[in-house]
Structure formats: structure tokens, C-alpha cells
Chain A
Amino acid sequence: MNVRRPMKLMIVDDSNIMRRRIERSQQFEELQLVGTAGNGVEAIELFKRTDPDVVTMDLTMPRMDGIECIGQLVALKPEVRILVISALADKATAVEAMEKGANGFLNKPFTDRQLNEAFAELMR
């Protein structure tokens, strides 16, 4: 029997409210939360320890922003799937994130439905 292991999820956001909201709202049994980080530096340390398959990434964060962090995570694991969740709603930012290796972009604020659709798209 072929049993698929769940994909490991890491949430990166400097807002505790947003981290908890993403954690509560995602409804995929295939995703298993392995940790949360509040900035890019913490995210890279956690990434090395937990080896996630899927990452949600805020962009505006202290110490290291999301754009730089995406580049470093992709260098560590090119197949990682990254969903940017940010209030930065301009096209130039979205393009920059995609060029660094992000796979999806969701604007804050978001509904549960929008989040789950973005996850579904990311894991397709």
C-alpha cells in the first residue's frame, strides 16, 4: 500500500495574529505544521532544522525581509513551495517575489476561503 506522507508546513510572519490565523484556517490534512517564525533569520534556522515542503511567507519583517528570505530558502531547497501572504499589494512586489522563487501570492487581509484556495493552487 502506498501511503503518502503529509507535506510539512512552516509559517513565517512577524504578526502573532496572522501566524495563528493561517494555522487555524488551513484545512488540509496533507499539511502538517512543523513550526512558525517571526522573521527571515528565524525562518532560515527553522527551515534547516525541520526541512518543510511548503512555506507561507510574509514580506515586511524585521531583521530579514521576506524577499531575501525566499531567495535563501530556494537556494537551500529548490523544490520548496512558497506562498507569499502580504499586505503589499503592488504588482512590482509580486513579480519580485516570484522571480526570487515564490510560487503563489495572497494579499492580506484574506478570508479562510481565499487562503484555502491559495493552498490548493500551491499544492496542485
Chain B
Amino acid sequence: MLHEQELKTFVDGTTNFFEVAAQQPASIGSPYLLEGTPAVHEYTGVINISGKREGVVFFTAPKAMLTVLLMKMQENDFSHETMRDLVGEVANTISGNARRDFGREFVISVPSVLSGEKPELPHKPGLRSFIIPINWRSHSAKLVVSLT
């Protein structure tokens, strides 16, 4: 079973990105459990995890949120590639936090990025996902933790 402290590591990695890069903290909505693969937004950064636990962690965000985040970072390129780049950097930060807190018991992959509304997300049958809403300004993204 997923421990609260493990979940906190992933959440902190996500909110830390908003707080530092955009100088404006994100808040956390009420987490919930879901069977199967949740719906995703336009851009998704994925981390595969193996070792002590198996599964995936991903951050999925709508284009509108990423656009405002880029503006707050003083970026002026809002192309598809830049959106992918940004969601990859958020996933990279989540991955870095996990490596620091979990050590070598967890093997954490380099993040990959998916885009489009129905991308092929890796998911183990029967495994439930924790969905944590990430609210920032008027936008909402999701952190999805799906681990054994």
C-alpha cells in the first residue's frame, strides 16, 4: 500500500515547481481513488517507477494552465514543443524529488512526455490510482500516482 509520506514526496515535487518557477504556490484539492486510467489533459509528463514499488506517476495539465505558467516564467514561446518541454520539466522535478527521498529502493525513469487528449498511458490492470488535483490560479491539473 502506498504510504502517505510517499504520496507527499510526489505532491511536494509538483507544488515546488509552481512555487519556485512561477513564484506563486499551487494548492492541493481533495485526493480521490480511481479504478483504471484517469482522463488526461492535453499535456502529460510520465515517470515510470520500479524496484520497491511498480507503476507510474504522471502530471497532466491543460494548455491554458501551461500558457499562464510560461508567461509567469517570462517565456514568450507558447508553441506545442514548448508546452511539451514545460510539462517534461515539471515531471523532471517530481522525479528528482522522488530520487532524493526514496533513494535506491526505487528505480525512477527519465520522464517522457505525451500530448493529445487520448494518449497511450501505461497502466497495470487492477491497480488503483490516487488522483491529486493541483489548483493554480483559475486552472486545475492532476497528479496521478498509480503504484503497487
Is B85 interfacial (CB-CB < 8 Å)? yes
Least distance between B106 CB and chain A CB atoms (Å): 11
A108 touches B93 (CB 8 A): yes
Q: Which of A17, A86, A91 contacts B75 (CB 8 A)?
A: A17
Q: A95 contacts the other chain (Cβ, under 8 Å)?
A: no
Partner pick for A15 among B88, B96, B99, CB 8 A cutoff:
B88
Prevailing SS type, chain B contact patch: helix
Interface size class of A (residues with CB under 8 A): 20 to 34
Q: Are B96 and A20 in contact (CB under 8 A)?
A: no
With a 10 A CB-CB cut-off, give which of B85, B96, B97 has the most chain A CB atoms: B96
**Of A20, A60, A90, A109, which one neighbours B103 at CB under 8 angstroms?**
A90
- CB nearest to A21 among chain B residues: B73
Contact at A87–B92, with CB atoms within 8 Å? yes
Given A17-B82, A109-B16: A89 touches B74 (CB 8 Å cut-off): no
Task: Please tell me if A107 contacts chain B, counting CB pairs below 8 Å.
Answer: yes
Question: Is there an interface contact between B100 and A16, defined as CB atoms closer than 8 Å?
Answer: no
Q: Chain B: which residue is nearest A58 at the CB level? A: B92
- Please give the distance in Å from A74's CB to the nearest CB on chain B: 24
B105 contacts the other chain (Cβ, under 8 Å)?
no
Does A88 touch B at the CB level, under 8 Å?
A: yes
Residue numbers in A under 8 Å from B100 (CB-CB):
88-91
In the complex, which residues of chain A have a beta carbon less than 8 angstroms from the beta carbon of B33? none
Contact indicator B77/A16 (Cβ below 8 Å) = yes
Residues of A within 8 Å of B17, CB to CB, are: 109
Give which listed residue, A20, A21, A24, A89, contacts B99 with CB less than 8 A: A89
A93 within 8 A of B: yes
Q: How far is the CB of A54 from chain B (nearest CB, A)?
A: 22
Query: Measuring CB to CB, which residues of chain B are less than 8 angstroms from any residue of chain A?
Result: 16-17, 20-21, 23, 70, 73-75, 77, 81-82, 85-86, 88-89, 92-93, 95-97, 99-100, 103, 110
**Residues of A that sit less than 8 Å from B by CB:** 15-18, 20-21, 24, 60, 86-91, 93, 107-111
Q: Can you list 21 A-B contacts (CB < 8 A)?
A: A15-B89, A16-B77, A16-B82, A17-B70, A17-B85, A18-B89, A21-B74, A24-B74, A87-B89, A87-B92, A87-B95, A88-B96, A88-B99, A89-B97, A90-B100, A90-B103, A91-B100, A108-B93, A109-B21, A109-B89, A110-B20
